[in-house]
Amino acid sequence: MDNESPPDPPKPSGLLKFWRELKRRHVVRVAMVYAIVGWLVIQVANATFADFGIPVWAYRFVVLMVVLGFPQALVVAWAFELTPEGIKTTKAARIVSADTEISASHAKKRNWLAYAVGAAVLVLEHPINQCLSVGKDKD
């Protein structure tokens, strides 16, 4: 018999760590609930707005608000946690252990990713506005 110890389990990849963090912070749960409730709100608006004589632009506004609210709901779910003591920031609510501490290089990468996403939103805002205003009459 060999006295070899069993091999170490493989370390999880960065994507797997990210997915676990999303689940730990309940971002996945918030995304699913928001998608279901948003779909329900859009369906109710679609079914009832015409019967009540509400203009078409109001339905478009409801859909737009549901779509634009989704990323904001995810950011709030990431940043805050609902505890029995009330709403707290995730940093204050979590128990920090040695394996969950964020290194300086990881924080720097995350900051650059946030900057890139913000820049992409700013760059894509104008073409999206152009697409949404194509059907409008121009004087």
Output the pTM of the full model: 0.57
The per-residue pLDDT for 98 is: 42
pLDDT in tens, 45-93: 999 998 999 999 999 999 999 999 999 998 888 888 777 777 777 764 4
Beta-carbon contacts of 74 under 8 Å, excluding residues fewer than 6 positions away, are 27, 30, 31, 34
**106 versus 24: which is more confidently predicted?**
24
Tokens in use for 38? Answer: 């948003």
The per-residue pLDDT for 118 is: 82
Beta-carbon contacts of 27 under 8 Å, excluding residues fewer than 6 positions away, are 74, 77, 78
Q: Are 38 and 70 in contact (CB under 8 A)?
A: yes
pLDDT in tens, 24-43: 888 889 999 999 999 999 99
- Ordered DSSP codes for 95-120: PP-TTTPPPHHHHHHHHHHHHHHHHH
The per-residue pLDDT for 3 is: 63
List b or e across 75-93, with b for residues whose CB sees 16 or more CB atoms inside 10 angstroms: eebeebbeeeeeeeeeeee
Task: Tell me the percentage of the chain whose pLDDT exceeds 70.
Answer: 81
- Domain coordinates in residue numbering, the chain: 16-91, 103-139
Average pLDDT over residues 115-128: 82
Instruction: Choose the weakest-confidence range: 73-82, 107-116, 125-134.
Output: 125-134
The per-residue pLDDT for 130 is: 76
Within 13 A of 53's CA, how many CA atoms are on the CB side? Answer: 0
Largest separation between any pair of C-alpha atoms in the chain:
88
Q: Are 81 and 88 in contact (CB under 8 A)?
A: yes
Rounded Cα distance between 21 and 5, Å, is 30
pLDDT higher than 60, residue 44: yes
